[in-house]
Structure 1
Amino acid sequence: MSTFPPHARVVTGEGTLTGTVVTEGDRIAGVEETAGEPSGWIVPGFIDTHTHGGGGFSFTGGDPESARKAAAFHASRGTTSIMASLVSGSPEFLREATVGLKPLWEDGTIMGLHYEGPYIAASRKGAHDPEALRDPSVDEMRDLVGLGGGFVKMVTIAPELDGAVETIEYLDGAGIVVAIGHTDATWEQALAGVDAGAKVATHLCNAMRPFNHRDPGPIPLLLDDERVICEVIADPVHLHHGTMEFIFDAGLPTWTHLVSDAMDAAGLADGTYMLGTLEVDVVDGTARTKDGAIAGSTITMLDAFQNAVRLSGQTVESAVAMTAEVPAETFGLADAGIIEPGRRADLVVLDDDLELRGVMRGGEWVPTAGGES
């Protein structure tokens, strides 16, 4: 039997009401309205479409046991659907990692695989190994997509690279989401990528040619084009809260994914960690490579949700859209993202201050750090 607050604010696909959620097995059976004084929130489980690890465990090495533990860590913080994001690697490594992690997709532990690289600009590489970067290749993608058998869900590409447009067209035709990111593209080159089928902007503003009024680059194009969903790493390391507010106001929550871009140091103390093949130092919660590049984040989607509301003035309903509804729609997750009868019982219980009180995934309570489940 599942027990939820009897008079919570429940954020459904139709709006927010006072009541509680009824579950049956792994499904939402209904939402019951009540007349009591509302206390706390029940929101859909968070969906993180860009994550490298957390809790001391990683997706980037392609090790299935470490990946399972990374997914479990994020579930304990409210992320009930998670994409495993790799960093740039050799063709052999990408094949091995795809084969190694595929069983986690088959058993529902992760929602898919994201290749963040190797088809990215060396000038905007961030925390990627420069030796692993290369031009986009339809042949390589065809091989990996065939190997994945539906497991590959997203690929980040810099559209200005040789072969980018053709590779984007191939991936889009194969039903795989293409994201523009780690790019030095001009406005025109970014538009060519979108016209070819790119649908997401990888962590907007970060690892991108910056905006200039005479050389706008990709940022205004990606923010303004309704064909594009923009990822936002909602922490004050990656974006000033004023920039976040601008993105949310200009792009609107209905065209935005909040993502963690978390590395394995998420949830842990400062220290030295690895992101792919690169050593990363975490100081005051900020992860940087030895050459000073920001190396992912140490936040979770719970942090991103809270930051959107507390730092950038968004409503809880807007934060729900950006952490659940929109990513579910982008990746065709018909079972997740919205509280309504028939969907999987993926739910997060928060108190009035948006602190975590419980996580349910597929009708089962998940052990949480500091929660009540």
Structure 2
Amino acid sequence: MFALSNGKIYAGDTWLENHSVLVDNGKIVKICNVEDIPSSCPVDDLEGGFLVPGFVDVQVNGGGGVLLNNSPDKSSIVTVAAAHRKFGTTSLAPTFITDEKTKMQEMAGAVETALMENSPGIKGIHFEGPFLNIERKGVHDAKFIRLMDDCFLKLIADHDLGQVIVTLAPEKVTLDYIRTLVEAGAIVCAGHTNATYDQTQAAMDAGLTGFTHLHNAMPAMQSRKPGVIGAALENQDCFCGVIADGHHVHWATLGTTLAAKGADRIMLVTDAMSSVGTDETEFMLGDQRIDVRDGKCVTAEGVLAGSALDMATAVRNVSRLPGQSLLSAVKMASTTPATFLGLNDKIGKIQSGFDADLVLLNKEVEAVRTWIAGEQV
């Protein structure tokens, strides 16, 4: 057992000072007063930093020079997870965007292997596509966008994939298909969609619980056409991912979204590409060259292609918005996505019995140390 001490400890809605976190066998034993640390317990000095739950990113396409669609194998998944740990991400859903069926099979097999081998940080998989609206495809390859089929249902049934997230366009599948996915254990999200308000409401009634990169790849909310965004903001139970990099969503729009939904239902996501954790200035997505410049990833035509964002930067950005704080930003990066995944009894909090997945932030809100299951990584 060891103690993490001399820092400000995240406790949901407040910071605990003059307290320590006791860790043993990969778990948080308890939070105690400094004077109650057992005399035989080694103490790790946090030097006044902010100790927060490890970040949980449910949309990660790549990192460390690896793009999962280009290399759907276990080694790539491990590389991506390691790249994001430097920025405080201790749990993630490797994300595979619309692609051919054989590559989807390869990715499913790779994630299953990673889970079987307890690869640090891997919690499941996010299939972003292929049942999307081609009019809102973004950089997804149109030739692989397809209608709903039983092959995909078999794919997720035949593999042990942990937490399975499926992003689809509600107007391109039947309500029964959404119900079938949910019954199979998938978490269904709306994204890359032109769904109307009524179509979105019906999809939520069928079991859809999330929205992928809200505001992006979907129609804007209008006074008489609230659409998918209006339905998402109105519903107080569903979860919305947002990319807080200043490129995907205007800061004022993001602030209004946060005010409408609150930190309990907004999740910070990166939508990160291979450049995160590297000095890459360009990479390939299929046969498209993607340039990394001015903090964003874009095609030759200037279309956004994922992001160059990491979770520590997302937390820092949101913590500086009017009406927000470091506490609320951390909740959106840890507790809320853990709840979305159904893992809020294991991760996302600094609490007795939870996994000792932790991040130390300095005063500039930079990740300076990261622990997974009590091991510094």
The answer, yes or no, to whether TM exceeds 0.5 is yes
Choose from 55, 74, 77 the match for 2:64: 55
| 1:172 maps to amino acid | V
Q: CA deviation at 1:187?
A: 1.1
Q: What RMSD over aligned residues (CA atoms) do the two structures have, in Å?
A: 1.8
% identical aligned pairs = 34
Residues 326, 279 of structure 1: alpha-carbon distance in 2 compared, 3 angstrom cutoff: same
Q: Is the 8 A contact 2:132 2:193 kept in 1?
A: yes
CA displacement, residues 337-367 of structure 1 (integer Å, 9 cap, x when unaligned): 110111111111112222222111111111x
Between 222-231 and 274-283, report the one with greater CA deviation.
274-283
Distance, in Å, in 1 between the alignment partners of 2:368 and 2:155 is 40
Aligned to 1:370: none
How many residue pairs match? The answer is 361
Choose from 123, 126, 149 the match for 2:160: 149
Q: Is the 8 A contact 1:129 1:278 kept in 2?
A: no
Choose from 216, 237, 261 the match for 2:226: 216
Residues 312, 290 of structure 1: alpha-carbon distance in 2 compared, 3 angstrom cutoff: farther
Between 194-203 and 327-336, report the one with greater CA deviation.
327-336
TM-score normalized by the length of structure 2? 0.91
Gaps of 5+ in 2: 36-46
Are residues 1:134 and 2:162 paired? no
Q: Is the 8 A contact 2:108 2:161 kept in 1?
A: no
Q: Is the 8 A contact 1:87 1:276 kept in 2?
A: no
Aligned to 1:39: 48
Q: CA deviation at 1:96?
A: 2.0
Q: CA deviation at 1:13?
A: 4.5
Are residues 1:353 and 2:343 paired? no
Distance, in Å, in 2 between the alignment partners of 1:33 and 1:322 is 27
Matches within 5 A, 1:249-268: 249-268=259-278
Gaps of 5+ in 1: 367-373
Between 337-346 and 274-283, report the one with greater CA deviation.
274-283
Q: Is the 8 A contact 2:12 2:331 kept in 1?
A: no
Aligned to 2:310: 300
Q: Is the 8 A contact 2:272 2:306 kept in 1?
A: yes
Distance, in Å, in 2 between the alignment partners of 1:283 and 1:170 is 41
Residues 13, 211 of structure 1: alpha-carbon distance in 2 compared, 3 angstrom cutoff: closer
Distance, in Å, in 1 between the alignment partners of 2:26 and 2:184 is 31
Are residues 1:11 and 2:23 paired? no
Q: CA deviation at 1:313?
A: 4.5
Q: Is the 8 A contact 1:119 1:134 kept in 2?
A: yes
Q: Is the 8 A contact 1:182 1:207 kept in 2?
A: yes
TM-score normalized by the length of structure 1? 0.92
Between 274-283 and 180-189, report the one with greater CA deviation.
274-283
Choose from 122, 125, 131 the match for 1:113: 125
Matches within 5 A, 1:85-124: 85-109=95-119, 110-124=122-136
Distance, in Å, in 2 between the alignment partners of 1:312 and 1:77 is 24
| 1:115 maps to amino acid | F
Distance, in Å, in 2 between the alignment partners of 1:9 and 1:117 is 41
Q: CA deviation at 1:270?
A: 5.0
Aligned to 2:177: 167
Q: Is the 8 A contact 1:128 1:278 kept in 2?
A: no
Distance, in Å, in 1 between the alignment partners of 2:59 and 2:98 is 14
Q: Is the 8 A contact 2:87 2:366 kept in 1?
A: no
Choose from 308, 317, 330 the match for 1:320: 330
Residues 291, 122 of structure 1: alpha-carbon distance in 2 compared, 3 angstrom cutoff: farther
Aligned to 1:158: 169
Secondary structure of residue in 2 paired with 1:77: coil
Q: Is the 8 A contact 1:336 1:344 kept in 2?
A: yes
Q: CA deviation at 1:285?
A: 2.1
Aligned to 1:27: 27
Choose from 75, 78, 99 the match for 2:85: 75
Q: Is the 8 A contact 2:133 2:194 kept in 1?
A: yes
Aligned to 1:369: none
